[in-house]
Amino acid sequence: MTATTSSLHLPAGSTAAGPYTLHVTPESAGWGHSGLRVLALGAGETHELETGPDEVVLVPLEGSFDVECDGESLSLAGRASVFAGPTDVVYLPRDATARLTGAGGGRLALCTARARARLPVRHRPAADVPVELRGAGSCSRQVHNFATADTFPADSLIACEVITPGGNWSSYPPHKHDETSEHETELEEIYYYEVSTGPDGQPGLAYQRVYGTPERPVDVLAEVRDGDVVLIPHGWHGPSIAAPGHDLYYLNVMAGPGPERAWRIVDDPAHTWIRGTWATEQVDPRLPLHSPATDPQDQAPGQNGATRP
């Protein structure tokens, strides 16, 4: 049976549960490892979180928060919006109780993954988050690698944010990571989207493509809007297309069954040639978007996306 748009595209509000405006668990997704929740808290409001079998990375989407867990009291300075640059994050271990408080109020993403090991609570400041400009030309995008495998210790969770300027294609060329080999790691993936409004204040939109192989079919072409989610159990995914005039944000949450925490991907062979065009193109001058953390002139060789999707 082919998984289709109707089963993998979750419109904003369709998974709301209790205090969460978004609530995706491994059980609700029909897989085994990755999850995502979004919690709205007013100033001074609190929420008690039981992490259970999951490790959790707390990511402010907007606003600031205080966190108490395992005897640690931490503050998340947060940000005004997802388009205001990278944010600080907090890691919570499995089998923990955390008290979350809206310091200034706002919305908090809880990126989750089933974990075997129990690691300590810790805070990563925004200034320590690597900001990468990936791709070139109309494939330019900005990546905040706050919890990727090569930059942040965790048991199984991999997470990052991507900002795509209006009119650009992101998550391109299409790629997959659904097998265990020297070239791939098997990872379930969640895409959570926010889309900027246009100059007239009208809501924005974007598009997401996911397609499979004959052996493992999947077929998604979704028009995504603010607060939507697309689940990617397997298959090629990309492009993520930002409509002209509307910058696109997406939060990626990944985890899988393998003992190795790594992000290895393979391109769809029909489209990988596009990487070769980036060597002669400039990074979109609109990037870095609302963030002074990275200057295109300061990139290391190959940082413009020679080996990353």
**Which residues make Cβ contacts (< 8 Å) with residue 182, sequence separation at least 6?**
264
Range of the domain at 163: 3-275
- DSSP structural state of residue 17: B
Rounded to an integer, the average pLDDT of 275-294 is 84
**pLDDT tens per residue across span 193-206:** 999 998 889 999 99
- DSSP structural state of residue 25: -
Q: Would you list the DSSP string of 169-222?
A: EES-S-EE--S-SSS----EEEEEEEE---TT-PPP-EEEEEE--SSS-EEEEE
Within a domain: residue 300? no
Q: Would you list the DSSP string of 50-70?
A: E-TTEEEEEEEEEEEEEEEET
CA distance 36 to 59: 11
**pLDDT tens per residue across span 91-127:** 999 999 999 999 988 999 999 999 999 999 999 999 9
Within a domain: residue 131? yes
- Answer for the pair 160, 146: CB distance below 8 angstroms, yes or no: yes
Least confident of 57-61, 134-138, 176-180, 294-298: 294-298
pLDDT score, position 295: 36
Within a domain: residue 290? no
Structural domains counted in the chain: 1
pLDDT score, position 293: 40
Q: Compute the mean pLDDT over every residue in the chain, rounded to the nearest whole number.
A: 93
Within a domain: residue 43? yes
128: domain CATH number is 2.60.120.10
Within a domain: residue 108? yes
Within a domain: residue 304? no
CA distance 255 to 267: 19
Within a domain: residue 307? no
**pLDDT tens per residue across span 36-64:** 999 999 999 999 999 999 999 999 999 99
Within a domain: residue 120? yes
Place of tokens 């907090």: 90
